[in-house]
């Protein structure tokens, strides 16, 4: 792990070949300078964890309430555009359904392709990407994300450290 200084917030980053993964944290989210955050969501991971847990905290639990009500499910290829209303330094939050955890591990490259297609349609230019939790089995796909988004990828979030225990 290394520490990076961004907008007066300390942000932990995990070093890996070809780049780094940011630790999902309030400091990392608050330091983002992007037009869109896109995060995967598995239908069988509750409560929300990782990057979505941090974002939900900033949104005062609005995402959790929508999940609890069944409005957002995490089903395969579900697409949700969620305005952040100024509670995040990012105007647009995209959620993308990865299905079950088993589906996510088996079809990760397909889910990433779907997320990129959604971002292309939205004309997203500066993107932060978040894996669905539990992300530890998906981090090997970070290179796929970097190749697919190219220079548009500003940040890629790794696994929730609590989920690694």
Angle at which helices 142-149 and 108-121 cross, to 10°: 30
pLDDT value at position 18?
45
Task: Say what the pLDDT of residue 41 is.
Answer: 97
pLDDT-flagged residues of the chain (< 70): 1-19, 162-165
Domains and CATH numbers, the chain: 23-164 (3.40.220.10)
Q: Record the pTM.
A: 0.88
Residue 4 has a pLDDT of: 43
Please give the Cα distance from 96 to 93 (Å, whole number): 10
């Amino acid at each position: 792990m290394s520490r990076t200084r961004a907008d007066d917030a300390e942000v932990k980053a995990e070093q890996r070949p070809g780049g780094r993964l940011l630790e999902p944290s309030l400091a990392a989210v608050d330091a983002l300078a992007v037009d869109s955050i896109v995060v995967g969501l598995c239908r069988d991971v509750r409560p929300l964890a990782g990057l979505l847990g941090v974002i939900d905290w900033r949104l005062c639990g609005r995402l959790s309430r929508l999940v609890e009500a069944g409005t957002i499910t995490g089903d395969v290829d579900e697409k949700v555009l969620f305005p952040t209303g100024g509670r995040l330094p990012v105007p647009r939050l995209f959620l993308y359904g990865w299905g079950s955890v088993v589906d996510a591990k088996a079809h990760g490259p397909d889910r990433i392709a779907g997320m990129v297609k959604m971002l292309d349609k939205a004309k997203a230019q500066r993107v932060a990407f978040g894996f669905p939790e539990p992300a530890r089995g998906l981090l090997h796909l970070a290179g796929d994300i970097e190749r697919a988004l190219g220079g548009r990828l500003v940040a890629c979030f790794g696994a929730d450290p609590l989920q690694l225990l």
